[in-house]
Amino acid sequence: MPGGGCYRALYSPAWSAASELVAAWLKEAGLLVRRDAVGNVWGRVEGSRGGRAIVTGSHIDTVRGGGALDGALGVVAAVEAVASLVASYGRPTRILECVAICEEEGSRFNTNLWGARAIADRIEPGEVERVRDGDGTSLADAMRAVGLDPAGVAGAVRRDIDAFLELHIEQGPILDEQGPRLGVVTAIAGTAHLEVTVRGQPDHAGAMAMTRRRDALLGASAMALAIAEVAVRMGHPAVATVGTIVVEPAQVNVVPGVARFVIDARHSDPAARADLVNEVTNACKVIARERGLDVDVRAVRDRPPVRLDPRIAEVLRRACAAAGVAPRDMTSGAGHDAQVLAAAAHAGMLFVPSIGGRSHCPDEATAAEDVILGARALATALRELSYQS
């Protein structure tokens, strides 16, 4: 794509091609392959003792201009780990499954964690019709275009998963800079999305005096700077980001009358996250008042922080130790499928370093030896869970 990087948007041709590729790998590994009601791709090997399933995987979609590893690493490592376990040790005692989750990023549609929410029975009534992409296409129509029935979304629900393990890149600089080479995630930060609309007055950019303007973009600019300042002052792991902004009427020669942007605010501690949301909201209101602007701040997403399963974390720590690494316990600032699947299973996550902490960009990278280390630790953990005697 322009600017480099990849973009596998949910239900797009690139996404379909990737789904088919993963299905082919799973088939090649001898797994029973199926596509579920929302397009998650599953590969399954039956366990000799049945029971609830041990599942590993990650998402197959990407952000726009994303890197090669976010999501894809966890899918490829899942296939590799399960295939090599079955090749080495034969049939597991427990049902063992790989999953390529259809959507996590929220890149195309105004929703996210779609695939994991479908598995965990967290899709909202009417969501398939209501949620649309930038071109106005509904999720339902996009599903139909790839041969899925939007009326059948509930068919993706799984109530028989025991454990979900996800290998993922850290997407931050901690492991890369401070080590060690593996991290065990104990909690995932809660994300609040606040939609901010600033209303001033559109005026002629040549004729209206500077001192008489109510410029919505200048208000939004001051707010963006103040929002970042709030997170910096609160300190790690608080983050607050303005990733999108649009102005109206968006003409070179017209003072912006409206500016709209979204704040992404995160913290792994529920109380601190609430403070962060309050402080950025207040900062916007104070600036609007000072500049004679109207401002509306509306919460459009409010996901609480999630603790991952302590027992699975122990399994992952043992697996890391077996690979020769004493892992770091970490909280994830990024959201992950595991945070949703934690409601339906015992969920755990393993991080490998991101070089320079870079992610959601074409430069996203992890050293090959760290990829191998992560995949090996994942396989070891899956073996402990799936080959119990």
What is the nearest approach in angstroms of its own copies to the Cβ of residue 177? 10
Of the residues 183, 256, 327, 353, which one makes contact with its own copies according to CB under 8 A: 256
Using the minimum distance from each CB to its own copies, give the nearer residue, 123 or 218. Answer: 218
What is the nearest approach in angstroms of its own copies to the Cβ of residue 217? 6
What is the nearest approach in angstroms of its own copies to the Cβ of residue 385? 27
List the interface residues with its own copies, window 78-107 (CB under 8 A).
105-107
List the interface residues with its own copies, window 307-346 (CB under 8 A).
332-335
Using the minimum distance from each CB to its own copies, give the nearer residue, 95 or 220. Answer: 220
Are the CB atoms for 309 and 128 separated by under 8 Å?
Answer: no
Q: Which residues contact 314 (CB under 8 A, 6 or more apart)?
A: none
The string of DSSP codes covering 181-240 is: S-EEEEEE-EEEEEEEEEE---EETTTS-GGG---HHHHHHHHHHHHHHHHHHH-TT-EE
What is the nearest approach in angstroms of its own copies to the Cβ of residue 206? 4
How far apart are the C-alpha atoms of 169 and 175, rounded to whole Å?
A: 10
Q: Which residues contact 338 (CB under 8 A, 6 or more apart)?
A: 164, 166, 185, 188, 306, 308, 347, 348, 349
Are the CB atoms for 10 and 113 separated by under 8 Å?
Answer: no
Of the residues 92, 115, 183, 257, which one makes contact with its own copies according to CB under 8 A: 257
Q: Is 286 in the site for its own copies (CB under 8 A)?
A: no
Element (H, E) at 247: strand 239-248
Q: What is the DSSP letter of 5?
A: S
Using the minimum distance from each CB to its own copies, give the nearer residue, 303 or 346. Answer: 303
Using the minimum distance from each CB to its own copies, give the nearer residue, 53 or 293. Answer: 293
Q: Is 252 in the site for its own copies (CB under 8 A)?
A: yes
List the interface residues with its own copies, window 115-154 (CB under 8 A).
none
What is the nearest approach in angstroms of its own copies to the Cβ of residue 21? 24
Task: Name the residue with tokens 């790690």.
Answer: 236
Q: Is 366 in the site for its own copies (CB under 8 A)?
A: no
Of the residues 74, 115, 183, 202, which one makes contact with its own copies according to CB under 8 A: 202
Stretch that binds its own copies, among 152-160, 200-208, 310-318, 381-389 (CB under 8 A): 200-208
Using the minimum distance from each CB to its own copies, give the nearer residue, 118 or 217. Answer: 217
Stretch that binds its own copies, among 45-53, 116-124, 355-363, 374-382 (CB under 8 A): 355-363
Compute how many other C-beta atoms are within 10 angstroms of the C-beta atom of residue 367.
13
Of the residues 189, 312, 341, 350, which one makes contact with its own copies according to CB under 8 A: 189
What is the nearest approach in angstroms of its own copies to the Cβ of residue 215? 7
Of the residues 8, 360, 376, 383, which one makes contact with its own copies according to CB under 8 A: 360
What is the nearest approach in angstroms of its own copies to the Cβ of residue 190? 10
What is the nearest approach in angstroms of its own copies to the Cβ of residue 128? 21
Compute how many other C-beta atoms are within 10 angstroms of the C-beta atom of residue 160.
13
User: Among candidates 65, 69, 86, 77, which has minimal Cα distance to 22?
Assistant: 77
Are the CB atoms for 79 and 43 separated by under 8 Å?
Answer: yes
Q: Which residues contact 261 (CB under 8 A, 6 or more apart)?
A: 195, 196, 220, 223, 224, 242, 244, 245, 246
List the interface residues with its own copies, window 215-234 (CB under 8 A).
215, 217-218, 220-222, 224-225, 228, 231-232
User: Among candidates 378, 300, 313, which has minimal Cα distance to 58?
Assistant: 378
Whether residue 327 has a cis bond before it, omega within 30° of 0 = no
